[in-house]
Structure 1
Amino acid sequence: MRALTAAVLMVCMVQGAVAADKVQQRLVERIQSFDSRLSVESVSPAPLPGLYEVVLSSGEVLYTDERGEYILAGELYQVQGAGKLVSLTEERMKAVRMQALAAIPAEQRVVFPAKGERKAHLQVFTDVDCGYCRKLHSEVAKLNEMGIQVDYLAFPRAGAGSAAEAKMSAIWCAQGDERRELMTRAKNGENLAPVKCENPVMEQFALGQQLGVTGTPALVLDDGRLLPGYLPAEQLARVLGL
């Protein structure tokens, strides 16, 4: 009897998995039928019964029914506890940001390492001509002394062909200490001699947009949280748990 029960359960589990795969494949095909350029990263049941969560390769999170007849593009909230409103979409975006940024190697960043033991890590989408980016950079040495490593990623707000993009390309064409020196010079308002090379500046700009960056500085913590705007070093240290 136990063997029969186990066999029945196994058959049910296999049938359920096959059915789930069919739903996911149908939703992928349905969404891509709207625009062949759309690329679906993942499809999974949403926290709200009856909905599926669809993550596009662009980083956007959508919700749909199992037939793909209704599409919701926006934030899904859940009331947790006594009136606590939590964005489930933002919780999902944290994981998306963590995965995307983990794929960027150190040689494609401008890294200001922590002094001594590294106690925290901050990833910053920056624009060298942004006033608040310059204000934050003036405190990077203090952050480093606190044990906080700061990694810069490029986000020239005016886009390709802008003065900021040209300066940041010159920075990313350099290496190591020279790259850090050029970043500091640019943040101090100096013009940099133009340098052309293959660099990730515009790729990082596009990635930032996909991850929800709309302005600079945009700070991403290791848990995927996105903090828009400047924060003083002491306040940042508290946010980072130091």
Structure 2
Amino acid sequence: MINLKNSIAALMLLLSTAVFAETAQEAAIKRLVEPRLGEGVKVDSVTKTPYAGLFEVRIGTDILYTDEKAQYLFVGSVIDAQTSTDYTKARVADLNKIKFSDLPLDAAVKMVKGNGKRVVAIFEDPNCGYCKRFRQTLQGVDNITVYTFMYNILAEDSAVKSKNVWCSSDKSKAWDDWMLNGKAAPVAAASCSTPNDKVFALGRKLGVTGTPTIFFTDGTRMPGAVDVKTFEAKLASLK
């Protein structure tokens, strides 16, 4: 029996390493494709895939496909008809991976529940309704450490609310008071400094376009207010 998980991992390794040994054919396709994508668009790599004779065209973390003569461009997901495996989704997830240990955790609000052995980092905006919903979900999750980066992207007063939380004597309690109960933190002193700008720059660098966005210790991310079953299943897969 084929181990599907191992097969996908092998495929991702093949694609991620192939760009370092671009063939003459891949280079030729890159030269043909790039001018057809619009002025200023830069193709980072062209890689032959193991399926359907397609070539992966990567632009940042965006993926499209072409044929060996670069006559056609295909936009969408490559899905295995037998296993329903979405190879494109898996590839994009791999491209979006981060190095969790590089996150500046000192710029995040830390919450520990139970033994705290399971660790995640979350980008949240204080005005984000979906973030508040996910905070409710976290209420039912134990043995976890959550680092919350207050990522102010939704409203003009998001930075003010984040500053008030950051400058509170108990940051974690102040954040939960606001996100769970709508209880605002005391107004911060003007002299209190925050990591707001640092977190905003970090989120942009990591390509965080919405909140909440959850990062796991394996470097993968999960956007949106996922349900507890999905969240727990992901955490269990990291063991």
Q: Normalising to structure 1: TM-score of the pair?
A: 0.63
Q: Secondary structure at the match of 2:131?
A: helix
Say if 2:137 and 2:227, in contact at 8 Å, map to a contact too. no
- 1:226 equivalent in structure 2: 222
- 1:89 equivalent in structure 2: 88
- 1:208 equivalent in structure 2: 208
Q: Secondary structure at the match of 2:96?
A: helix
Percent identity over the alignment is 18
Matched, 1:105 2:104: yes
Q: Secondary structure at the match of 1:54?
A: strand
Q: Against the structure 1 CA distance between its residues 202 and 19, is the aligned structure 2 distance closer, same or farther, given a 3 Å change threshold?
A: closer
1:61-140 to structure 2, matched below 5 A, reads 61-80=63-82, 84-99=83-98, 104-113=103-112, 115-116=114-115, 118=117, 120-138=118-136, 140=138
Determine which of 23, 48, 54 is the counterpart of 2:57: 54
- Matched length: 209
1:131-180 per-position Cα deviation (integer Å, ceiling 9, x unaligned): 3422433564653xx2222233455453xx63325544x379x5997654
Following superposition, the deviation at residue 90 of structure 1 comes to 0.9
Say if 1:121 and 1:149, in contact at 8 Å, map to a contact too. yes
Following superposition, the deviation at residue 221 of structure 1 comes to 4.2
Greater C-alpha Rg: 1
Q: Secondary structure at the match of 1:53?
A: strand
Say if 2:34 and 2:42, in contact at 8 Å, map to a contact too. yes
Say if 2:67 and 2:73, in contact at 8 Å, map to a contact too. yes
Q: Against the structure 1 CA distance between its residues 19 and 41, is the aligned structure 2 distance closer, same or farther, given a 3 Å change threshold?
A: closer
Return the alpha-carbon distance in structure 2 between the equivalents of residues 102 and 24 of structure 1: 34
Could you tell me which amino acid in structure 1 is paired with residue 235 of structure 2?
A: L
Return the alpha-carbon distance in structure 2 between the equivalents of residues 182 and 40 of structure 1: 45
Following superposition, the deviation at residue 96 of structure 1 comes to 1.8
Q: Secondary structure at the match of 1:95?
A: helix
| Root-mean-square deviation (Å) | 4.0
The runs of 5 or more residues in structure 1 that have no matched partner are 1-16
Q: Secondary structure at the match of 1:91?
A: helix
